[in-house]
């Protein structure tokens, strides 16, 4: 039996802020399902105050003790619960994790150094020695480094293999050498491992130590070897290219399922698109837009950050709304400049635009169910999940050919009377190209027969975890 331990900073439904939480909330259970009796899958997370009472009530207290971290002793508790065939461990320390937000604190480096060390240290207390440790993003990067530098010679730890997955290379965990000892508990003889570009770089340390480095799409695995997408890490990635591969994410097909989703007005499949239209009418009523079924509803559901391609949208949307008969909704919060832009846009086009500047998962499902066309013109996108969720809900994606968007959405095309592709795509980071493809999507949508045919194709595209869970298991085995 293979024992796999995931280590990461967030997982649905316990605590999540973005795509990492989606993946750590669904991939472990998919691997447990695909591997059956042959795998034992466990996950290590921080016990944030955001984890609800409902979950806490189901937890079992595993152990607690004082763990050494540099020159001090710190409390470390472990709680556990089993869900969907996966054991979840929660590392408890109120000083570090009893705070309102998951991240964004002045001492995040120290908080995740603690978490990463505890994740390795507790294994001997739990008497659980995995075959593979699979750590995710910078917050868990040090677990890979600590295993190598501090635990390898302890019985049980000798043969553990390690995988490090990059969900977003933009966030690396960079710190001044001043805190190498006090915060990261590393001596000078380990400095070279985390050293990169004149500072401590936690992600670099994990890339250097891990047996395998993966990222969340094949295209992104290629892109981050080049300077344009690597945020400075291309050198270390090229040095370690032999370890690097990309495996495309999937989405949780039970949670995102228009056939059973209780949060939407009427459930539907690709065979009952009439019922999808009921969702559009209900949503238009909910937000006070004219209840029209003859205009396409275009949506953007995204963190309002520049790398999501918001500058392209703000550049082209005014013209589009002035010249075409469409409705437009944006759901998400982020940079104030974009929030203000969309607020003003709604005032300028009160009959066409709604700006919902919040993060709300249930509302997002109602928007997917109601929408016809989905814009996602990211500047860079490791994988992207929204284009897959949109597809699952029968929304025509308009995406830029980068990272996981390139791997998941192929441009619509007709050849010898056959329809190919599952969306509209463009290559350059250009508002004119986005506008052109958005207009092509609108034109196709206005042709009912073609629209239904393309939406059927899109909804039948497989974005489940099935294929990728198998690839992960093969990779673990290859180690
Ligand atoms: C990050 C990336 C996103 C990816 C997600 C899950 O949020 O930005 O592209 O889909 O991680 O891997």
pLDDT, block means (10 residues), the chain with 479 residues: 96 94 97 94 98 98 97 97 98 97 96 98 98 98 98 97 97 97 96 97 98 98 97 97 98 96 98 97 98 98 96 98 98 97 98 96 97 98 98 98 98 93 98 98 97 97 96 95
Q: What is the DSSP letter of 439?
A: H
Atom of ligand 1 minimally distant from the CA of 170: 8
Cα–Cα distance for residue pair 468/245, rounded to 1 Å: 13
Q: Which CATH superfamily is domain 273-460 in?
A: Glycogen Phosphorylase B; (3.40.50.2000)
pLDDT score for 300: 98
pLDDT score for 1: 83
Ligand 1 pocket check for 170: Cβ under 6 Å = no
pLDDT score for 401: 98
User: Ligand 1: distance of its center to the CA of 403 in Å?
Assistant: 10
User: Ligand 1: distance of its center to the CA of 328 in Å?
Assistant: 25
Minimum CA distance residue for ligand 1 atom 5:
19
Q: Is 104 left (phi over 0), alpha (psi -120 to 50) or beta?
A: left
Ligand 1 pocket check for 23: Cβ under 6 Å = yes
Minimum CA distance residue for ligand 1 atom 12:
167
User: Ligand 1: distance of its center to the CA of 76 in Å?
Assistant: 30
Q: Which residue ranges does the chain devote to CATH 3.40.50.2000? A: 2-250+465-478, 273-460
Tokens 């690597």 found at: 230
Cα–Cα distance for residue pair 173/188, rounded to 1 Å: 19
User: Ligand 1: distance of its center to the CA of 128 in Å?
Assistant: 29
Ligand 1 pocket check for 8: Cβ under 6 Å = no
Minimum CA distance residue for ligand 1 atom 10:
384
CA distances from 355 to 86, 348, 450 (A): 39, 12, 30
Cα-flanking dihedrals φ and ψ of residue 133, to 5°? -105, 130
Atom of ligand 1 minimally distant from the CA of 378: 9
Residues 195-204: tens digit of each pLDDT: 999 999 999 9
Q: Which of 8, 18, 247 to mutate to test the pocket of ligand 1 (most atoms within 8 A of CB)?
A: 18
SS3 141: helix
pLDDT score for 344: 98
CA distances from 382 to 218, 223, 278, 327 (A): 9, 9, 34, 29
Structure tokens at 259: 């056939």
CB 230 within 8 A of CB 179: no
CA distances from 348 to 96, 292, 354 (A): 45, 20, 11
Q: Which CATH superfamily is domain 2-250+465-478 in?
A: Glycogen Phosphorylase B; (3.40.50.2000)
Structure tokens at 369: 């169910």
Ligand 1 pocket check for 13: Cβ under 6 Å = no
pLDDT score for 63: 98
Ligand 1 pocket check for 381: Cβ under 6 Å = yes
Ligand 1 pocket check for 249: Cβ under 6 Å = yes
Ligand 1 pocket check for 18: Cβ under 6 Å = yes
Ligand 1 pocket check for 383: Cβ under 6 Å = yes
Closest CA to 227 of 237, 217, 218: 237
pLDDT score for 303: 94
Ligand 1 pocket check for 387: Cβ under 6 Å = no
pLDDT score for 193: 97
Ligand 1 pocket check for 7: Cβ under 6 Å = no
pTM of the model: 0.95
User: Ligand 1: distance of its center to the CA of 147 in Å?
Assistant: 26
């Amino acid at each position: 039996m293979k024992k796999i331990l995931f280590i990461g900073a967030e997982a649905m439904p316990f605590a999540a802020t973005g795509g990492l939480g989606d993946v750590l909330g669904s991939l472990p259970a998919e691997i447990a399902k695909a591997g059956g009796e042959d795998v034992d899958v466990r996950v290590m997370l921080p016990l944030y105050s955001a984890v609800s009472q409902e979950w806490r009530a189901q937890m079992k207290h595993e152990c607690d003790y004082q763990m050494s971290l540099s020159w001090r002793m710190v409390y470390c508790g472990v709680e556990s619960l089993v869900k969907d065939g996966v054991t979840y461990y929660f590392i408890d320390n109120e000083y570090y994790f009893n705070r309102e937000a998951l991240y964004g604190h002045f001492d995040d480096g120290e908080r995740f150094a603690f978490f990463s060390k505890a994740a390795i240290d507790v294994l001997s207390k739990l008497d659980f020695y995995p075959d593979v440790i699979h750590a995710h993003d910078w917050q868990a990067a040090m677990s890979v480094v600590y295993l190598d530098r501090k635990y390898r010679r302890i019985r049980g730890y000798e043969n553990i293999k390690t995988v490090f997955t990059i969900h977003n290379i933009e966030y690396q965990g960079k710190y001044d050498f001043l805190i190498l000892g006090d915060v990261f508990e590393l001596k000078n003889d380990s400095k070279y491992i985390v050293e990169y570009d004149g500072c401590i770089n936690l992600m670099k340390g994990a890339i250097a130590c891990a047996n395998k480095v993966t990222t969340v799409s094949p295209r992104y695995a290629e892109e981050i070897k080049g300077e344009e997408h690597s945020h400075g890490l291309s050198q270390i990635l090229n040095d370690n290219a032999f370890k690097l591969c990309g495996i495309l994410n999937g989405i949780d097909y039970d949670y995102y399922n228009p056939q059973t989703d209780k949060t939407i007005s009427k459930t539907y499949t690709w065979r009952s698109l009439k019922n999808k239209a009921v969702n559009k009418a209900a949503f238009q009523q909910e937000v006070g837009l004219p209840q029209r079924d003859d205009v396409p509803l275009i949506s953007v559901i995204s963190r309002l950050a520049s790398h999501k391609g918001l500058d392209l949208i703000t550049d082209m949307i005014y013209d589009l709304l002035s010249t075409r008969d469409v409705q437009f909704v944006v759901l998400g919060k982020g940079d104030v400049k974009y929030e203000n832009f969309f607020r003003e846009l709604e005032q300028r086009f009160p009959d066409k635009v709604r700006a919902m500047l919040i993060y709300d998962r249930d509302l997002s499902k109602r928007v997917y169910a109601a929408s016809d066309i989905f814009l996602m013109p990211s500047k860079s996108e490791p994988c992207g999940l929204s284009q897959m969720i949109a597809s699952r809900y029968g929304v025509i994606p308009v995406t830029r050919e980068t990272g996981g968007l390139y791997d998941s959405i192929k441009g619509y095309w007709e050849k010898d009377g056959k329809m190919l592709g599952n969306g509209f795509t463009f290559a350059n980071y250009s508002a004119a190209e986005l506008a052109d493809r958005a207009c092509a999507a609108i034109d196709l949508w206005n042709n009912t027969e073609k629209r239904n045919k393309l939406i059927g194709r899109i909804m039948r595209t497989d974005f489940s975890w099935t294929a990728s869970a198998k690839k992960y298991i093969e990779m673990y085995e290859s180690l």
